[in-house]
A and B are shown apart, each in its own frame.
Chain A
Amino acid sequence: MEKMSDENTEEVKVLEAEIERLQAEVEALQRQQQENNKDITFHYRGQMENALAFMCGQRQEGGKEMVMSRLKEEVEELEEDVKLQTEINGITLNSCTTKTLQNSGRKLVQQLSLSGNCSELVFQVEFQFSEIKDSERSKRTIGDLNVVLDSSDLQNFSSFLSR
C-alpha cells in the first residue's frame, strides 16, 4: 500500500511539472495573441468570429458550408456598404494598408496607406492617425500627411497641402 502511494506521489510530481511547463507555454502564446489583437484590422466579430472558431478546429453548426455561406453574406453586405460610401464621398479607394503602431486602452495610433482615385485624379496617400479617448469625447488628429499624385495639377494641390 505504501508502495502505491509512492508511485502516486511520483506521478503527481511529474504531472505538476508538466502543468507548469504547459502554463508557461500558454502564457507566452497569450502574450503573442494580445500583441496580434492590437491590430484592429483583425478584430473578429460576427461571422468572422465563427469562421475563426472553425479554423481553430471548433465544430460549427452546419459545418464548413454554413460558415462559408454566412460569411459570404456578410462580405456581400460590406461590399454594398463600401459601394454606397464610395458614392456619397465621391472617392474610390482601391487599396488600404494599415499598421497599428500603438493601441493601449485610451490611445490608438495607426499608419495608413491608401490608394485610389477621385474623378480622374489618381492618388496615393499616407498619413498617421491618432485617436485619444477620454471620458466624454475622443480627440482625433491626422499627421505626417504624404501625398503622391500623378501629376499635372500639382500647383492647386500644394496650397491645399500646406494648410
Chain B
Amino acid sequence: MERAPAKGVLSHLSLLEVQARSRKSQLQQQSRVMELKAKVEALKTQREQLKAQIQTHQDLQKLRLAMEKQCADEEEENMEEESENSQLLRLMARHTQLKDLLHAHHLIGGYDIIKTRKGKGACVSIATAYEDVFLDTFNLEIDLKPTVKINRHNIPPFIPLNNLAEQNNMQTDLRVFLDTLSQHLNAFAGRKQQLKLVKEKHKSVEVMESNVLCSLLVLLFTVPREKTAVLCTLDYTDHTRCLPTRVHLESEDKQLPDSPQWEKNCSLLMETPVHKALITMKKMGSIV
C-alpha cells in the first residue's frame, strides 16, 4: 500500500529531475549560442579593423611614392580625387616622409641633433666609425641660450673637451667645434679598434704597453728562426690621426733596427694601420 504512492512520488521526482536537467542543458546550449554569436561579432570587428589598417597602409604607400616623385622631379602637385579623409592621409604621409628624412640624415653620417626644452638646448650625437664599421656613439647635451655651454656628455675624460670648445669658438660656430671634436673622437675610435684587432688577430705579437687614449703602443715582436726579440714603440702624438707620428725599434741584436728589412718595416708602420702592417710583416718573414 505504501508502494503505490512511493512509486508515484519517485517517478514524479525523477520526472522533475529530467526536466530540470534538460532545462539546464537547454540554458547551457542557449548561453553557448550567445557565446558563439559574441565571438563571431568580435572576429568580424577584428577583421574589419585589420582590413582598414591594411588599406590605410596601402594608401599611405601610394601617396608617399607620389610625394617622392614630386620632390625629385619638382612636378606640379596634382590634385587627386579628394576623399573624405584624404587631408588626414596626406598629413600622415608627410609625417612618414619627415621621419624618413631624419633617418636618412642619421645614416649619412654627420651629427644627429635634437632640440630640447623648447629650443633652449640641443642633444648632439657624434658617431664614430673605422674601416666600414660603426663604433661607439658619443653624446653631448648643450645649452644654447643664453650662452652655448656643454651640460652633460659621455665623452671620455682624456679627450680635451673644454680646450677644444675654447679653441674652436664653440660660441660662434658650433659646427666647427663639432667637426674638430668628431675628428678627435673618430681618430681615437680608430686607434682603439686597431689595438683590438692586434690583440685578436696577432696573438704572436705581445702588447707590452698601451694607454687609454691609445696614443702610445709598445709591441714585442719575435724574429723567426733566431727568436730575437724586437721592441716596437708607436707614438701617436697627433690625436686627430689614426697613424703614428713616430716608430722606434729596439733589439738585443743592435744591428737589426738598421737593417734594410727593418727600415722598410718602420716605414710600413708609419704609413699603414698597425693591424694591417703586421700582416705584411708576417708575410715577409720579418716576424713570427
Which A residues contact B (CB, under 8 angstroms)? 1, 4-5, 8-9, 11-12, 15-16, 18-19, 22-23, 25-26, 29-30, 32-33, 36, 40-42, 47-48, 51-52, 54-57, 64, 67-68, 71-72, 74-75, 78-82, 84-86, 88-91, 93-98, 112, 114-115, 125, 129, 138-142
Binding site of A, secondary structure by majority: helix, strand, loop or mixed?
A: helix
Enumerate the 9 nearest inter-chain pairs by beta-carbon distance, A residue then B residue, closest first: A89-B110, A56-B52, A95-B71, A15-B36, A78-B98, A22-B43, A29-B50, A8-B29, A140-B134
Question: Which residue in chain B gives the minimum CB-CB distance to A98?
Answer: B100
Task: Determine if A96 and B97 form an interchain contact, defined as CB atoms under 8 angstroms apart.
Answer: yes
Task: Determine if B29 and A9 form an interchain contact, defined as CB atoms under 8 angstroms apart.
Answer: yes
Once A26-B46, A30-B50 are accepted as A-B contacts, the answer to whether A72 and B37 lie under 8 Å apart by CB is no
Query: Residue B62 at the A interface, CB < 8 A?
Result: no
Residues of B within 8 A of A89 (CB): 105, 108, 110-111
Residues of B within 8 A of A29 (CB): 47, 50-51, 54
Task: Determine if A19 and B39 form an interchain contact, defined as CB atoms under 8 angstroms apart.
Answer: yes
Could you name 21 residue pairs across A and B whose Cβ atoms are closer than 8 Å? Answer: A11-B33, A19-B36, A19-B43, A22-B47, A26-B50, A29-B54, A42-B60, A42-B61, A42-B96, A54-B88, A55-B52, A57-B49, A68-B87, A71-B91, A75-B94, A82-B101, A82-B102, A82-B105, A139-B133, A139-B134, A140-B133
Task: Determine if A84 and B115 form an interchain contact, defined as CB atoms under 8 angstroms apart.
Answer: yes
Task: Annotate B75-106 by CB proximity to A: 1 below 8 A, 0 otherwise.
Answer: 00000000001011101101111111111110
Residues of A within 8 A of B43 (CB): 19, 22-23, 26
Query: Residue B202 at the A interface, CB < 8 A?
Result: no
Residues of B within 8 A of A48 (CB): 92, 95-96
Task: Determine if B26 and A5 form an interchain contact, defined as CB atoms under 8 angstroms apart.
Answer: yes
Task: Determine if A84 and B99 form an interchain contact, defined as CB atoms under 8 angstroms apart.
Answer: no
Once A9-B29, A19-B40, A52-B53 are accepted as A-B contacts, the answer to whether A82 and B98 lie under 8 Å apart by CB is yes
In whole Å, how far is A86's beta carbon from the nearest beta carbon of chain B?
7
Task: Determine if A64 and B95 form an interchain contact, defined as CB atoms under 8 angstroms apart.
Answer: no
Task: Determine if B95 and A71 form an interchain contact, defined as CB atoms under 8 angstroms apart.
Answer: yes
Query: Residue B48 at the A interface, CB < 8 A?
Result: yes
Task: Determine if B33 and A75 form an interchain contact, defined as CB atoms under 8 angstroms apart.
Answer: no
A93 to B18, CA, bound (A): 80
A68 to B25, CA, bound (A): 53
| Count of residues in B whose CB is under 8 Å from the partner chain | 66
Instruction: Count contacts between A and B, CB distance < 8 Å.
Output: 180
Residues of A within 8 A of B114 (CB): 81, 84
Query: Residue B107 at the A interface, CB < 8 A?
Result: yes
Task: Determine if A57 and B104 form an interchain contact, defined as CB atoms under 8 angstroms apart.
Answer: no
Additional pairs, 14, CB under 8 Å, beyond known A18-B40, A97-B64, A138-B134: A8-B32, A42-B96, A48-B95, A55-B56, A55-B88, A67-B88, A75-B95, A80-B115, A85-B110, A88-B111, A94-B71, A95-B72, A98-B100, A142-B107
Question: Which residue in chain A gives the minimum CB-CB distance to B135?
Answer: A137
In whole Å, how far is B58's beta carbon from the nearest beta carbon of chain A?
8
Once A85-B105, A129-B107 are accepted as A-B contacts, the answer to whether A15 and B50 lie under 8 Å apart by CB is no
A52 to B135, CA, bound (A): 37
Query: Residue B68 at the A interface, CB < 8 A?
Result: yes
Task: Determine if B91 and A33 form an interchain contact, defined as CB atoms under 8 angstroms apart.
Answer: no
A95 to B32, CA, bound (A): 57
Once A5-B26, A9-B29 are accepted as A-B contacts, the answer to whether A41 and B102 lie under 8 Å apart by CB is no
Task: Determine if B132 and A141 form an interchain contact, defined as CB atoms under 8 angstroms apart.
Answer: yes
Task: Determine if B178 and A93 form an interchain contact, defined as CB atoms under 8 angstroms apart.
Answer: no
Task: Determine if A52 and B56 form an interchain contact, defined as CB atoms under 8 angstroms apart.
Answer: yes
Task: Determine if B44 and A33 form an interchain contact, defined as CB atoms under 8 angstroms apart.
Answer: no
Query: Residue B195 at the A interface, CB < 8 A?
Result: no
Query: Residue B30 at the A interface, CB < 8 A?
Result: yes
Query: Residue B12 at the A interface, CB < 8 A?
Result: no
